[in-house]
Amino acid sequence: MSKEIGHFIDGRRVPGESGRSGPIYNPATGEETGRVAFASAAEVDRAVQAAKRVQPEWAQLPIIRRTRIMFRYKELIERHMDELARLITEEHGKTLEDSKGSLIRGLEVVEFACGAPHLLKGEYSLNVGTGVDLISQRYPLGVCAGITPFNFPAMIPLWMAPLALVTGNGFVLKPSEKDPSCPMRLAELALEAGVPEGLFNVVNGDKEAVDALLSHPDVAAISFVGSTPVAEYVWRTGTAHNKRVQALGGAKNHMVIMPDADLDQAVDALYGAAYGSAGERCMAVSVAVPIGEEVADRLIEKLAPRVRQIRIGPGTEPGVEMGPLVTREHLERVRRYIDLGVEEGAELVVDGRDFRMQGYEKGFFIGGSLFDRVTPEMRIYREEIFGPVLSVVRMPSLEKAVEIINQHEYGNGVAIFTRDGGVAREFAQAVKIGMVGINVPIPVPVAYHSFGGWKRSLFGDHHTHGLEGIRFYTRLKAITSRWPDRPQGPEWTIPTLG
């Protein structure tokens, strides 16, 4: 039966009223499995008003009570892990193992949120002047909104919602229209955990819903994750409406392989980082930079046979390493990039374009592709492809490698594989990139640190989750106090402390 996804407003699922909707596909079979409503500005307003109504009372709750709800939320997500993973795989296409892995990364942010009493203690200075004390406190912003991409329909909403809520805010989520089922369940589970009705709402939709959030006078802050052009638009429009905005964008992540690297380890790492989740990860490695011709030749020799043999299939089947892409449109886009690479003169060592999945001929499958002798001028190097396509850019020296990495418009992640600690250390300091891996291909910081790129991979001042997340969802108040001198007389006397 075809599913109809509406919105989650004021503690319940409601059908869409705008008359506009979009298709939801099962990427493995290619069939349309349902429709998702696209919210109008009026529906967005209803969600914001619901959050605005209950947020002040929520913010007044003792922090330990908000935290207990986060503990229950964590338990509920754990209990529903299989169901949530299946919802992701059925609409996104990635393997069940990848879906669960991403849920666990999201869950870790909920666990971090459980430390809120400690995180919100504020700062205190005694005697900043004679008899004067100063306390810095953190206050919630009001109603915050999250706008999230298709590739992590649970993890990225969970980067945002738990921290926005535990710090005392209301939250309105506008998830990707491509895979809305899991985000809807996450809001339902939050309600079951004890989050008050109306505090956490989900509005589904497209640009119209996003624009309504960006200009809504009662939305105080916007967290966005998605492609760079939209991130920049969200940041410009949101800040023009006086909102606090963090907008994370696209990426092109390089992995440098030094001549002294353990090549087998590097190839294993590259294989997983480039082709895992069909390359639809903002921390996927899409450029390998071997230093020296010999390393490059050996790398290609070891990697190419593995790329030809990736176990591709529906994400729900055991043993599958790579599922389909999210939509037919995205599949065509990735194919066009491979055509372009050939036209630009790169050497296509493994061609995934003609891959057909037997029994799933209408699914959005593509094989892994590997380009050698890609140069920094080519568009396949400069632009984000967001598919299972790895470009090898041969460089004569680490210096040249750092040069191209720093010149690239994106600055999300980077990795170096080497046995030399000094070289790794210098490299980590020299690159203009937000997240660096040393013999770690996908250096996603754990939940209690913060995630974010540099350059055009992030607009705004705050990275996401960790302490940066707490800072983003709160504003500071500094209270400086002095008390009148105590009255004179023996009954008021207290011993002077040292």
In 3D space, the residue among 377, 402, 369, 153 whose CA is nearest the CA of residue 281 turns out to be 153
Half-sphere exposure of 94 (CA within 13 A, CB side): 27
Q: How many residues bind ligand NAD (CB under 6 A)?
A: 27
Smallest distance, Å, CB 458 to ligand NAD?
7
**Per-residue x/- marks for ligand NAD, 130-169, CB under 6 A?**
-----------------xxxxxx-----------------
Q: Where are the alpha helices (DSSP H) in 259-327?
A: 263-275, 293-308
Nearer to ligand NAD, 147 or 202 (CB): 147
Instruction: Give the type of residue at 408.
Output: H
The window from 69-77, 224-232, 397-405, 480-488 that contacts ligand NAD (CB under 6 A) reads 224-232
Per CB under 6 A, does 453 bind ligand NAD? yes
Strand 32-37 relative to strand 3-5, pairing = parallel
Which of 227, 327, 375, 406 is close enough to bind ligand NAD by CB under 6 A? 227
Length of the chain: 498
Q: Where are the alpha helices (DSSP H) in 61-95?
A: 63-79, 81-92
The count of other CB atoms within 10 Å of the CB of residue 2 is 10
Structure tokens given for 290: 């071997």
* Cα–Cα distance for residue pair 195/200, rounded to 1 Å: 7
Which of 3, 207, 419, 477 is close enough to bind ligand NAD by CB under 6 A? 207
SS3 249: coil
Instruction: Give the type of residue at 124.
Output: Y
Q: Among residue numbers 84 through 103, which ones bind ligand NAD (CB under 6 A)?
A: none
Smallest distance, Å, CB 433 to ligand NAD?
12
Which of 92, 100, 138, 174 is close enough to bind ligand NAD by CB under 6 A? 174
Residue holding tokens 């599958």?
320
Nearer to ligand NAD, 290 or 466 (CB): 466
Smallest distance, Å, CB 231 to ligand NAD?
7
Structure tokens given for 53: 């109504």
In 3D space, the residue among 227, 225, 252 whose CA is nearest the CA of residue 415 turns out to be 252
Per CB under 6 A, does 290 bind ligand NAD? no
Smallest distance, Å, CB 407 to ligand NAD?
19
| Contact indicator for 410, 252 with CB cutoff of 8 Å | yes
Per CB under 6 A, does 190 bind ligand NAD? no
Instruction: Give the type of residue at 444.
Output: V
Structure tokens given for 106: 């999201």
Write down the catalytic residue from 114, 144, 182, 282: 282
Q: Give percent helix, percent strand, percent coil of the chain, each to the nearest 5.
A: 40, 25, 35
Q: Among residue numbers 263 through 282, which ones bind ligand NAD (CB under 6 A)?
A: 282
Per CB under 6 A, does 7 bind ligand NAD? no
The window from 104-112, 125-133, 246-254, 466-474 that contacts ligand NAD (CB under 6 A) reads 246-254
Catalytic annotation present for 282: yes
Nearer to ligand NAD, 188 or 384 (CB): 384
Paired with 125 in beta bridges are 134
End-to-end CA distance of the chain: 76
* Cα–Cα distance for residue pair 272/284, rounded to 1 Å: 9
Per CB under 6 A, does 384 bind ligand NAD? yes
The window from 12-20, 116-124, 203-211, 479-487 that contacts ligand NAD (CB under 6 A) reads 203-211
Instruction: Give the type of residue at 241.
Output: H
Nearer to ligand NAD, 28 or 251 (CB): 251
Nearer to ligand NAD, 139 or 454 (CB): 454
Catalytic residue positions, numbered: 282
Q: What residues make contact with ligand NAD under the rule CB under 6 A?
A: 147-152, 174, 176-177, 206-207, 210, 225-227, 230, 233, 248-251, 282, 384, 386, 412, 453, 457
